[in-house]
Structure 1
Amino acid sequence: MTLLFGRRARLRWLHLIIGGALLMPYFLAALVIIGRLRPDPGPFSPLSHQLTAFVCALPMAAVTAFFAPARQLSVAAARALCGVPGDRPLADGPARTQQAQVRTVCWFTLHLALGGIVSGLTLAMPPLAGTIMALPFSQSMRDSRVFGLPEALDRPWILALLPFAGLAILVATAGCAALAGALLAGRAPVLLGPTPQDRLAAAERRAAELAVRNRLARELHDSVGHALSAVTLQASAARRVLDSDPEFVREALTAIEETTRRTVGELDSVLGLLRGGEDHGRSAATGPALDALDGLLERCGVSVSCAVRGDTGTVPAAVSREAYRIVQEGLSNALRHGGHGVPVELRVTVRAAELAITMDSPLPERAAVVRPGGGRGLCGIAERAVLLGGRAEAGPHDGGWRLAARLPLRTTGQESR
C-alpha cells in the first residue's frame, strides 16, 4: 500500500494533477475549436469530441515548452514532487541548446498528457466507485433510472461483490497514478538532465575556474614565497653578524622592511582578485612587471649582475608580468640554495618574436634543506611559460645552475592581458 498511497506516491500524484491543470487551458481551447468545426446540439460534448480535443491540445502545449522558463519550472517541480534519484541529477538553468529544448518539449508534453489522463481518472473514478459501493445498501438507488441495475445483476451475491468492485476501482486508479508517476520520475533524468553539451560546458567552466585558482596560487607562491625566503635568509645573516657588523645588520633590516612592504601590497592585490570572483580575476589581472625589475634586484638578497637587451616596454603586459615572476622565483631558488650574497648572472633579451630569460648561479656546496611537502617553484615557472606558449627549463650547466625561459611576444590567449 505504501507504493500506492505513501508519501512519494502522493507527491507524484500531485505532480500529475498539476500537469492536468496545466493542460486544461489547451484542452478547452481545442474543445471550442472542434465544437465550431463539428457542432453538436447536445448540452455536453460527446466523448469523441473530448478525445479529439485532448489529442489536439498536446501539440499546442508542446509549442509553449520552447519558452525559456519552461525547463526551469519543470525541473523545480520534478525535484520537489517526482522523487528523482539523487545519483541522477537534473540540469539547472534554461535550455541553451537545441537538444535540451527538444528534451524539454518531450518532458512537458509527457507530463501534461499523463497528468490529463490521471486527472480525468481522479475526477471520474472515485464518484463511480462510491456509487457502486453504495448500491447494495440503497434500494432507491438500485430502483432509480439513473443508478438502476439490470434485473440479471440484481442478485444478492452480485450485490455483495459491488463494494469490492468499487474498492478495486479506487486501487486501480491509485495504481495508474503510481505507474504514471514512476514513469515520469524515470524519464526526468533523461529529459531534464544535463545534455552532453551541458556537461561539456560545465567541464569548461570547471577548467576555467581551476585555471584561475592555479594562477592565483602561483602568484601567492612566487610573491609570498620569495619574500619569506629573502626575509629568512637576511634575518639569519644579520643575526650572525649582529655584534661585528652593525652596518650590514642595518641594511638587512632595511631590506626586510622593503621586502615585506612590497609583498603586502602584492598580497592585497591577489586577495582582491579572489574577493572579486573569477571574472574579476580574469579581467583585472595585476602585478609587478619588468619595469619593477630594478627594485626586485636591489633588495633580493643575492648579488645580481643584470644585462637587459632590447626595450622591455614593448613586451606585452601578460608576458611582462610572467617574466617578472619567473625572475623572482629564480632569485628565490638561488637565495634558498646558495645563501645570502650568492652571485647570480641574469640576462633578459627582447627579440622580435620572443623574450629570453637566462639566469646562471653557482651550485651550492651542500644540499639545500628541502621544505616539507617539497617546492613548486620550478613547476610554477614551467606552467607560466607553457600558458604563454613558451618553454622553460632548469638544471646543471657548466658547473653551475641555469634557468632558461623563452616566452613568445604573441600570447596564445590562455593568459589574459
Structure 2
Amino acid sequence: MPRLLQPLIRAVTYTRWLHLVVAVILPLIMAMVFPGLVDPSPADWALIALQPVPLLVLLAALVPSVRTAEGLQARLMLFPGPHARGGRGRPDDDHGISAAPSASWHDRLRTGVWLVLRLEAGFAVAMVSSAAGGLCLALLGAAFGDTELTTAYRVPGTGWWYGTLVVVVLAVLLAFVTVAGALTARAARALLGPSARERLALLEERTERLLERNRIARELHDSIGHALTLAVVQVGAARAAGDPRFTEQALGAIEETGRAALEDLERVLVVLRDPARPAGSRPDLREADRLLESARSSGARVDAEVSGPLEKVPGPVSREGYRMLQEALTNAVRHAGSLPVGVRIAVEGARLRIEVRNPLPEEGSTSGLRGGGTGVRGIRERAALLGGEACAGPEGGVWRLRVDLPLG
C-alpha cells in the first residue's frame, strides 16, 4: 500500500504532469484562430492536436537552441532532484539529458520527434485531466443533491455514495499521469540524450580530468617526497655529525626545501579548489641549481654538468624535466647517501637529455630502484607524454637514469 501511495508524495509526479500540460498552450492558441474552441467536434479536436506539428518540426530544424531549452526543461521537471521532494537526484546530475544546441541534422531530427511526442502526450494528458475534472464535479453534485450543476456529464439520480467514486476517478487519473510521466521521461533520455559527438566530447573531458589528476598526483609525489626525503636525510646527518655548524646548515636547507614544497602544495590545492583559476608558475630547468644545492645540503656529493641553452627549452618540456630531475635526485639521495652523484643536463640540437648516476651501495644491489618503482614509473610516464623516453637500471655497479626528450 505505501508503494501505491508513493506517487502522491513525490513532487516529480506533479512536475511531469505540469511539463506535459504546458505543451497544450500552443495548440490552444492556434485553435483560437482556427477552427475555434466553441463547441468543437471530434474532427476539430484532431485538427487542434495535429496542426502545430509542422511548426514544431520547422522550429527544431532551424533553431539549434531549441534542443538546449527542451533539455533544460526535461532535466528540471521530468527527473527527481532538489526540486522534486522525495527524489534522490543530485543538483549536478543531468540524468542523461543533453543541454547542448543541435550540432547535426540527426540532433535536429531527434529534437523534432521529441517536440511532437511531447505535444501529443501533453494533449492526451490534458484531455484526460479535463474529462476527469468534469466527471468529478458531476459526481460531487450528485453526492450533495445538486441536479442543476452544468457539466459535460450527466449522473443518474443523487446519493452520498457518488462521493466515493470521486476518489476512484482521481486514483485512475493519478495512475494515468504517473505512467505517462514515466514514459515521457524515458523518451526524453532517448531523444534528448547526448549524441555520439557529445559522448565522445564527454569521454575526452573525462580522460583529461583523469590525466590532470594523475599529473597532480605526480606533482605531489615529486615535490613533497623530495622535501621529506631531504629533510629526513639532513636530520640524520646532523645528528650523526654532532657539529653545531653543520646542524645549522642542515636546518637552513630543511627550511628552504620545506618552503618550496609548501609553495608547490599551495599551487596544487588552488587547482583542486578552483580549476578555473590559473595555477601560477611552475619551476623549470632554469631553477635546476636549487635542486642541486638542496641535494648537496643533505650531504650528497653532486657533480653537475649543464650544457646548452636551457632558457630556450619549451615550457612544458622544461617543467617536466625539472620534475624528472627532482625525482631522480630524491632517489639518489635516499639510496646513495653520501656516495657521489653525477648529473648531466644537456640541450643537444632538438633534444633534451638528462642523466643521473650514482654508485650502488653494495655490489649487485639495485638500491631498491627497480623499474616498477613509483618514482621511476612516474618519470617514464612524463617522458612518454612528451614523446620521449626514459630508462633506468644498474650498469656495472652504477645506477643510471637517462631521459631523452624532444624539444618540438
**Structure 2 length normalisation: TM-score?**
0.78
Question: How far 1:362 sits from its partner (Å)?
Answer: 0.3
Counterpart for residue 51 of structure 1: 46
Letter in 2 for 1:111: R
Relative to structure 1, is the Cα distance of residues 58 and 15 closer, same or farther in structure 2, using a 3 angstrom cutoff?
Answer: farther
Q: Which moved more, 1:205-214 or 1:401-410?
A: 205-214
Distance in 2 between residues matched to 1:388 and 1:332, nearest whole Å: 22
Distance in 2 between residues matched to 1:44 and 1:270, nearest whole Å: 70
Counterpart for residue 22 of structure 1: 23
Relative to structure 1, is the Cα distance of residues 24 and 64 closer, same or farther in structure 2, using a 3 angstrom cutoff?
Answer: same
Q: Answer 1 or 2: higher relative contact order, Cα 8 Å, separation at least 6.
A: 1
Q: How do 1:275-286 and structure 2 match up within 5 A?
A: 275-277=273-275, 280-281=278-279, 284=280, 286=281
Distance in 1 between residues matched to 2:255 and 2:304, nearest whole Å: 24
Q: Which moved more, 1:5-14 or 1:43-52?
A: 5-14
Letter in 2 for 1:106: V
Q: Any conservation in 2 of the 1:20–1:119 contact (CA below 8 Å)?
A: yes
Distance in 1 between residues matched to 2:116 and 2:95, nearest whole Å: 21
Distance in 1 between residues matched to 2:328 and 2:376, nearest whole Å: 8
Q: Any conservation in 2 of the 1:304–1:343 contact (CA below 8 Å)?
A: yes
Counterpart for residue 119 of structure 2: 112
Distance in 1 between residues matched to 2:147 and 2:330, nearest whole Å: 102
Question: How far 1:14 sits from its partner (Å)?
Answer: 5.9
Query: Mind listing any 5+ residue stretches in structure 1 that lack a counterpart?
Result: 36-41, 411-417
Relative to structure 1, is the Cα distance of residues 268 and 369 closer, same or farther in structure 2, using a 3 angstrom cutoff?
Answer: same
Distance in 1 between residues matched to 2:86 and 2:254, nearest whole Å: 62
Q: Any conservation in 2 of the 1:9–1:178 contact (CA below 8 Å)?
A: no
Q: How do 1:315-330 and structure 2 match up within 5 A?
A: 315-330=313-328
Counterpart for residue 225 of structure 1: 225
* Residue aligned with 2:392, SS: strand
Distance in 2 between residues matched to 1:269 and 1:393, nearest whole Å: 29
* Residue aligned with 2:127, SS: helix
Equivalent residue in structure 1 for 2:97, among 81, 91, 97: 91
Relative to structure 1, is the Cα distance of residues 332 and 177 closer, same or farther in structure 2, using a 3 angstrom cutoff?
Answer: closer
| Larger Rg over CA atoms | 1
Relative to structure 1, is the Cα distance of residues 261 and 368 closer, same or farther in structure 2, using a 3 angstrom cutoff?
Answer: farther
Distance in 1 between residues matched to 2:197 and 2:144, nearest whole Å: 63
Distance in 2 between residues matched to 1:139 and 1:349, nearest whole Å: 101
Counterpart for residue 414 of structure 1: none
Equivalent residue in structure 2 for 1:124, among 125, 131, 148: 131
* Residue aligned with 1:299, SS: helix
Relative to structure 1, is the Cα distance of residues 7 and 102 closer, same or farther in structure 2, using a 3 angstrom cutoff?
Answer: farther
Distance in 2 between residues matched to 1:60 and 1:23, nearest whole Å: 14
Relative to structure 1, is the Cα distance of residues 10 and 386 closer, same or farther in structure 2, using a 3 angstrom cutoff?
Answer: closer
Q: Any conservation in 2 of the 1:58–1:113 contact (CA below 8 Å)?
A: no
Distance in 2 between residues matched to 1:11 and 1:317, nearest whole Å: 52
* Residue aligned with 2:97, SS: coil
Question: How far 1:170 sits from its partner (Å)?
Answer: 6.8
The answer to whether 1:403 aligns with 2:401 is: yes
Relative to structure 1, is the Cα distance of residues 127 and 45 closer, same or farther in structure 2, using a 3 angstrom cutoff?
Answer: closer
Q: Any conservation in 2 of the 1:31–1:50 contact (CA below 8 Å)?
A: no
Give the CA RMSD over aligned residues. 4.1
Counterpart for residue 297 of structure 1: 292
Relative to structure 1, is the Cα distance of residues 13 and 220 closer, same or farther in structure 2, using a 3 angstrom cutoff?
Answer: closer
Q: Any conservation in 1 of the 2:306–2:344 contact (CA below 8 Å)?
A: yes
Distance in 2 between residues matched to 1:5 and 1:323, nearest whole Å: 61
Query: Mind listing any 5+ residue stretches in structure 2 that lack a counterpart?
Result: none
Question: How far 1:343 sits from its partner (Å)?
Answer: 0.6
The answer to whether 1:357 aligns with 2:358 is: no
Letter in 2 for 1:255: A
Q: Any conservation in 1 of the 2:366–2:399 contact (CA below 8 Å)?
A: no
Deviation per residue, 1:321-361 (Å, 9 max, x gap): 1112111111111110011x321111222122210111221
Question: How far 1:225 sits from its partner (Å)?
Answer: 1.2
Distance in 2 between residues matched to 1:208 and 1:277, nearest whole Å: 12
Equivalent pairs counted in the alignment come to 386
Question: How far 1:402 sits from its partner (Å)?
Answer: 0.5
* Residue aligned with 1:210, SS: helix
* Residue aligned with 2:400, SS: strand
Relative to structure 1, is the Cα distance of residues 52 and 403 closer, same or farther in structure 2, using a 3 angstrom cutoff?
Answer: same
Q: Which moved more, 1:130-139 or 1:179-188?
A: 130-139
Relative to structure 1, is the Cα distance of residues 138 and 315 closer, same or farther in structure 2, using a 3 angstrom cutoff?
Answer: closer
Counterpart for residue 201 of structure 1: 201
Counterpart for residue 69 of structure 1: 69
Q: Any conservation in 1 of the 2:389–2:403 contact (CA below 8 Å)?
A: yes
Relative to structure 1, is the Cα distance of residues 28 and 46 closer, same or farther in structure 2, using a 3 angstrom cutoff?
Answer: farther
Distance in 1 between residues matched to 2:294 and 2:334, nearest whole Å: 15
Question: How far 1:95 sits from its partner (Å)?
Answer: 4.1
* Residue aligned with 2:115, SS: helix
**Structure 1 length normalisation: TM-score?**
0.76
Q: Any conservation in 2 of the 1:338–1:362 contact (CA below 8 Å)?
A: yes
Q: Any conservation in 2 of the 1:209–1:278 contact (CA below 8 Å)?
A: no
* Residue aligned with 2:278, SS: helix
Question: How far 1:30 sits from its partner (Å)?
Answer: 4.4
Q: Which moved more, 1:61-70 or 1:21-30?
A: 61-70
